[in-house]
A and B are shown apart, each in its own frame.
Chain A
Amino acid sequence: MSGARVTTGEDRDTGSPLSRGRLLAPLPAAQAAGFRTLLFKEVLRFWKVSFQTVAAPVLTGVLYLLVFGHVLEDRVEVFPGVGYTAFLIPGLVMMSLLQNAFANSSSSLIQSKITGNLVFVLLPPISNREFFLAYVTAAVVRAIVVGIGVFAVTVWFAPPPFRAPLWIAVFALAGAALLGVLGLIAGIVSDKFDQLAAFQNFVIMPATFLSGVFYSVQGLPPFWQAVSHLNPFFYLIDGFRYGFFAVSDASPWLSLAIVLVALAAASAFALSMLARGYKIRT
């Protein structure tokens, strides 16, 4: 038998370039390095195509503002003393933020599944929790970048006040995280792009559109008001808007509680799917 056997990393010899590296794995490495690398890769992935992943949603946000703001500015006053355009801006920022958080984790995961390169992430010693956190954090990063982008180009039309900036940050982060987790779930469950598109078009889009981005639910008939209160996205938009105007349809504390419960439930579900290897490690 040859002398080369698994040992600890101490017997680094100075033989051939290849044998220098033999049998040394694993080098003592911080476990967090796998997570950090995956996060960095995920951020770089969307940043390399930022024209499509950042610039495009910012443009969409501006178009909504121009069209709806122009048509409704003089006709609607949702909160007393707040013009419609100023009311609309936080809603559009949050809507873009939520949609892009979802898009990032879901599209990255399904692309990797379909092209097969997810194997590169599944072979290394990355835990389910690290995998989860990396995808969700990357989704939050993209969501915040897009949110800031939409805000930066729309704020000039009607600068809203910043009455409670901490709430703005809290709801932006919690909302991005929730949608990042939902995107991860959709990416795990979907086998094809059209399944994912269905999830996006029939769940995420209606839920964000009907969450009070363009209107206050208090202007709705009682039945639809009640329906709106069953939509978790309503609390995200409402709480986020509270940060700007210190006025909201629901208490920001209630909204936060609901959002955090939804986030915890979605995260637990996603992690349990990862733990079972559902559609990932079959």
Chain B
Amino acid sequence: MTEVAAIEVTELVKRYPRVTALDGVSLRVEQGEFFGLLGPNGAGKTTLISIVAGLARASSGRATVLGHDVVADYRDARSWIGVVPQELVFDPFFTVRETLRFQSGYFGLRRNDDWIDEVMAHLDLTAKADANMRTLSGGMKRRVLVAQALVHRPPVIVLDEPTAGVDVELRQGLWAFIRRLNRDGHTIVLTTHYLEEAQQLCGRIGMLKGGRLIALDRTQALLQRLADVQVTLRLHGELPPALRVRAIEQGDGRVKLRVASAADVEGVLAACRESGAGIDEVEVGHADLEDVFMQLMASDRERVAA
């Protein structure tokens, strides 16, 4: 099925005078997906989003939103996408309602008050509708940014670190809202530093590092890429050499090992016993996205160094 992609970037390169922010990234986000874009600071996430949103120009390569080129066909491309920027920006001259009305007008919607009221209600902004933007707390300003991205009912919604510096309660509320938008058919693209959030929310994940895409897969597949089961041991004595290759993390007297399956745990314990290392504590768990992330970032580093 060759349905038009919600977002497609092809061989995207962005060079700044001193740094290459994107080094040939190709990526396709399908309609209706909840897609996570992860990577350390400076990996190129925001640059990629900026190019898709038309805020920055690519040095080479191409980006489209629902098939519309973001440069040649920018009016359509920008009409189909709503972007929540990372920085907590606002216009201090205006109230919340004015801000949302202006944003509607910029997208060509002159009479949009019903929808604006609805979005404000969903984001718990109604009580602050006539408050000046300056007087709002950080969390409230963040909600207004989300509302601004939704005034034109975009089918594709991009959120760049939407929960940075946001308290737990708002974060939960925001995610419930975004999930609902996704269920209703909106494509969601998310960057976040909270890997737990990405693991819970995103169906598919791309990982960027140094301007290159180093992983792109369904979240479950990524998690399975690391052994599905991990066993953490607290030992007195040395870890048997045969097990060292399986170590993922070590420190604090503990060692985390990857194992093929729950049955394989027995083999690990036997190896320890045979080598004479006493086991004080055993914990069996599953790999989480953070483990995958750390491993991918580390293995990429080795590859670059080699």
Give A residues with C-beta under 8 Å from B.
1-6, 15-19, 21-27, 29-31, 33-34, 36-38, 40-41, 44-45, 48-49, 112, 115-117, 119-127, 277, 281-282
Chain B residues whose C-beta falls within 8 Å of the C-beta of A48 in the assembled complex? 93
**B3 an interface residue at 8 Å Cβ cutoff?**
yes
* Interface pair A33/B108, CB less than 8 Å apart: yes
A sample of 18 inter-chain contacts (CB < 8 A) reads A3-B185, A6-B4, A6-B155, A18-B118, A22-B155, A25-B153, A26-B107, A26-B152, A27-B153, A29-B108, A116-B89, A119-B87, A120-B148, A123-B83, A124-B78, A124-B107, A125-B107, A277-B57
Chain A residues whose C-beta falls within 8 Å of the C-beta of B104 in the assembled complex? 37
Interface centre among B31, B57, B91, B108 (most CB of A within 10 A): B108
Partner of B87, one of A4, A19, A116: A116
Chain A residues whose C-beta falls within 8 Å of the C-beta of B75 in the assembled complex? 31, 125, 127
Partner of B54, one of A18, A41, A281: A281
Binary interface encoding of chain B residues 99-127 relative to chain A, with 1 for a CB under 8 A from any of its CBs, else 0:
10011111111100001001000100000
* Interface pair B106/A37, CB less than 8 Å apart: yes
- Given A5-B3, A281-B56, answer yes or no on A117-B106 (Cβ-Cβ < 8 Å): no
Interface centre among A36, A49, A125 (most CB of B within 10 A): A125
Question: When chains A and B are docked, how far (Å) is the Cα of A159 from the Cα of B93?
Answer: 38
* Interface pair A5/B54, CB less than 8 Å apart: no
In B66-100, which residues have CB < 8 Å from any A CB?
Answer: 66, 74-76, 78-80, 83, 85, 87, 89-94, 98-99
The smallest beta-carbon distance between A61 and chain B, in angstroms, is 25
Question: When chains A and B are docked, how far (Å) is the Cα of A28 from the Cα of B152?
Answer: 11
Chain B residues whose C-beta falls within 8 Å of the C-beta of A2 in the assembled complex? 32, 185
Question: When chains A and B are docked, how far (Å) is the Cα of A254 from the Cα of B5?
Answer: 57
- Given A4-B185, A21-B118, answer yes or no on A126-B85 (Cβ-Cβ < 8 Å): no
Chain B residues whose C-beta falls within 8 Å of the C-beta of A23 in the assembled complex? 153, 155, 185-186
**B239 an interface residue at 8 Å Cβ cutoff?**
no
* Interface pair B92/A122, CB less than 8 Å apart: no
* Interface pair A33/B109, CB less than 8 Å apart: yes
Interface centre among A24, A30, A112 (most CB of B within 10 A): A24
Interface of chain B, helix or strand or loop or mixed?
Answer: loop
**B53 an interface residue at 8 Å Cβ cutoff?**
yes
Partner of A123, one of B3, B4, B55, B180: B55
Chain B residues whose C-beta falls within 8 Å of the C-beta of A29 in the assembled complex? 107-110
The smallest beta-carbon distance between B222 and chain A, in angstroms, is 21
Interface of chain A, helix or strand or loop or mixed?
Answer: loop
Return the chain B residue nearest A19 by Cβ: B184
* Interface pair B185/A27, CB less than 8 Å apart: no
- Given A48-B93, A117-B89, A124-B106, answer yes or no on A5-B185 (Cβ-Cβ < 8 Å): yes
The smallest beta-carbon distance between B244 and chain A, in angstroms, is 45
Partner of B32, one of A5, A15, A34: A5
Chain A residues whose C-beta falls within 8 Å of the C-beta of B90 in the assembled complex? 115, 117
**B154 an interface residue at 8 Å Cβ cutoff?**
yes
* Interface pair A120/B102, CB less than 8 Å apart: yes
The smallest beta-carbon distance between B134 and chain A, in angstroms, is 11
Instruction: Give me the 10 closest cross-chain CB pairs, A-B, nearest first.
Output: A4-B185, A29-B108, A37-B105, A26-B79, A124-B106, A116-B89, A125-B75, A19-B184, A33-B108, A125-B78
Partner of A17, one of B53, B105, B118, B148: B118
Chain B residues whose C-beta falls within 8 Å of the C-beta of A49 in the assembled complex? 93
Chain A residues whose C-beta falls within 8 Å of the C-beta of B98 in the assembled complex? 44
Question: When chains A and B are docked, how far (Å) is the Cα of A177 from the Cα of B282?
Answer: 76
Chain B residues whose C-beta falls within 8 Å of the C-beta of A15 in the assembled complex? 184
Question: When chains A and B are docked, how far (Å) is the Cα of A165 from the Cα of B235?
Answer: 96
- Given A25-B155, A115-B89, A116-B89, answer yes or no on A122-B55 (Cβ-Cβ < 8 Å): yes
Chain B residues whose C-beta falls within 8 Å of the C-beta of A40 in the assembled complex? 102, 105
Question: When chains A and B are docked, how far (Å) is the Cα of A70 from the Cα of B85?
Answer: 56
